[in-house]
Amino acid sequence: MDKEKKDKHIEDIIDVQGRDTLPLSDIEYLSRNNGVWEQYKEKKENFYSSILMSLTHETYNELDAKRLWNKIVEHMNFLESALNRKVGISVATLDYLSNIKDILKEPKIIEENKIELVAEFSTIDELTRLYSRDVFDVTLLKYIEESKRTHSPLCLILIDVDDFKQVNDQFGHQKGDEVLTEIGACINEIVREMDLAARYGGEELAIILPNTDIEKAYILGERIRDNVAKLTFQGFSVTVSVGVGDMSLKKNNTPETLIKAADVALYKAKDMGKNRTVK
């Protein structure tokens, strides 16, 4: 796009005083051009509410809309980094509000061909609301490469529900599913935005902690373990065992070795009596 056409396009986007919604293509353009975004924001009343209305056909107050928008953009950047391809604001909005926040019950924001893209890259485990194993695998590799490049610390936490088979046998699989759902919610409340929590498999969960040394990772693991122990279900409670592994340039510098380090620590926690964190 030459400068004259670009300037005209910017003017067209900013000149929206009489419009309640924007075309998706304009929102996509705004989301990737901070300078234009700031100009538009200065001229548009109820800025974020208008953007969210355009994307979702739902009404949000301005403060909630701003918070959601920032999360959606963060999620879009994560998806594009994890998948190594352009995802776009509409797909990111659908995935975040439908799969992560579970507040968009009847999506109206996306073309049919893009719905197939979301289905192809299902990012959220339906039961725990943590990221899927596929996203975990891709992200762990990217974070390890980044850690090597920047010489920054990286840790991995593995969490296993203690005696989970007994829960299923004694209280039924539906109650077991409820346990996993509640533990997933507990983890989501505790992890930082920079972390990635995923369902690793079965009743085993994982958290990738970039720019985090093993002492801080241990503290976070202990916080999760303690909070899970405080959860109550009908007639019983559960505990988890937690293993923490860390990476350096000389050791645990591949996904396999870092997972093995966290796994060894997890099994030590089990052998020591469960309901504990080992690093």
**pLDDT-based confidence at 77, cuts 50/70/90?**
confident
- What whole-number distance in Å separates Cα of residue 77 and Cα of residue 8? 27
The domain defined by 133-278 folds into Alpha-Beta Plaits (3.30.70)
Q: What integer pLDDT is reported at residue 194 of this predicted model?
A: 86
| Secondary structure class of 110 (helix, strand, coil) | coil
Nearest in space to 47 (alpha carbons), one of 29, 20, 72, 74: 20
**Residue for token digits 């203690």?**
162
DSSP 8-state class, residue 57: S
Which of 11-15, 79-83, 168-172, 256-260 has the least mean pLDDT?
A: 11-15
Buried residues in 34-60 as b, exposed as e (16+ CB within 10 A)? eebbebbeeebeebbbbbbbbbbebeb
Q: What number is the average pLDDT over the span 165-181?
A: 93
Average pLDDT across the chain, whole number: 81
Q: Is 189 a catalytic residue?
A: no
- What whole-number distance in Å separates Cα of residue 224 and Cα of residue 240? 9
**pLDDT-based confidence at 101, cuts 50/70/90?**
low
Q: What integer pLDDT is reported at residue 45 of this predicted model?
A: 67
Q: Where in the chain is the domain with CATH 3.30.70.270?
A: 133-278
Q: Which two tokens stand for residue 92?
A: 């990111």
Catalytic position from the list 28, 203, 215, 222: 203
For the chain, helix (H) and strand (E) counts, in that order, are: 12, 5
**pLDDT-based confidence at 3, cuts 50/70/90?**
very low
167: which residues sit within 8 A by CB, 6+ positions away? 161, 175, 176, 179, 236, 238
